[in-house]
Homo-oligomer: A and B are copies of this chain.
Amino acid sequence: MALTLNDIETPAFVVNEERVLRNISKFQNHCDARGLKLRPHIKTHKSIRFAKAQIEAGAVGINCQKIGEAEIMADAGLNDILITFNILGAPKLARLRALAERVTVRVVADNPVVVSGLSDAFANAPNPLGVLVECDTGAARCGVQSPAEAIELAGLIHQSPGLAFAGLLTYPAVGGQADVVTFMRETRDGLSASDIACPTISSGGSPDMWQAETGGVITEYRAGTYVYNDRSLVERGTCTWDDCAGHVLATVVSRPTRTRAVIDAGSKALTSDLLGLDGHGHVIGHSGSRIVGLSEEHGVMELPEDSALAIGDRIHIVPNHVCVVANMFDQAWLQTAAGDIVRLTTDARGRVT
């Protein structure tokens, strides 16, 4: 007999398949219409099933953050993988080399130490490793700090044995799309003056996804969160509650006072990520109620005086930040279009290296 939502134990991470597929298709259409290649980041779903669905919808390949994620995806047949992380150290370089012998893999670098390590690892490889220069266009994370530095590092990659310069990449600050275009145009023009081909210029980010366009310079867009969406994106206006495809299902286990409920989802389910928001997720259908505190396995809710929420009631929570929540559960539950509930493994969960 098919499972229903009532059969599954809480806390659970429940994914609505129709919404996922709609989210995938909608943003693919956006990119197609603007001449942008879409390369989804699998960090959010970490799921083979959905990576394949994204490729089927028209994505050019996938984006991973860790070699371990890429290995899982390569095992499953995904064959065009960009790893957007500086890779360092002999064990990781050996794994990258092995991966590159079975799928198309490209990586990034933002400094000469990383370039040197990659070059040493690939100097005698059958094919050169494509390396993009990561640029800091305002997010203040990784990345070279200026177009001049980007051009210099691209030149170094271009000259390094075993490597091929493969383009430019940035993870922009939220709201920073115009800065990306300015930085990338100047860098591209400088590379062109140095006769260095720049096949890909990659930007990304779900918060500004509906503003994604080439600006005459961007060729590829990377986004991850859009597949599930979350409270942070709703609050920003990027999507609606009905676009949120990943919920935490929790049960009210205690009503110690008239205005307090305790649920069985704490920081080991919802995580402590706030992303600037107040409280720990949005409780669907209980707009006056807030999750005001988390301990590891308890969530403490503040309720209106007249709340009818009772012990045993189940609630659906849209998490603040769905990417880290999906990563807490070895297994999620997929609600199919037919209303059935099936297991959804989070294939690359915990692949930290």
Contacts and interface: CB of A to CB of B under 8 A. Distances in A.
Interface of A: 7, 9-12, 43, 65-66, 85-86, 88-89, 91-92, 110-111, 113-114, 136, 140-145, 251, 253-257, 260, 262, 264, 267-269, 271-274, 293, 295-298, 300, 310-312, 323-324, 327-330, 350, 352-353
Given A85-B297, A256-B142, A311 B9 contact: no
B254 A142 contact: yes
Given A9-B353, A89-B9, A141-B300, A114 B253 contact: yes
Contacts of A330: 350
Given A10-B353, A88-B312, A298-B142, A111 B254 contact: yes
Counting every copy of the chain, the complex holds 2
A312 B113 contact: yes
A144 B256 contact: yes
A12, A141, A273, A353: residue with the most chain B Cβ atoms closer than 10 Å = A141
Contacts of A327: 268, 296
Would you call the interface of chain A mostly helix, strand, loop, or mixed? loop
B65 A352 contact: no
Given A110-B256, A145-B257, A311-B88, A297 B66 contact: yes
Contacts of A324: 267-268, 272, 296
Given A85-B264, A312-B89, A312-B113, A143 B256 contact: yes
B296 A65 contact: yes
B111 A311 contact: yes
Contacts of A300: 140-141
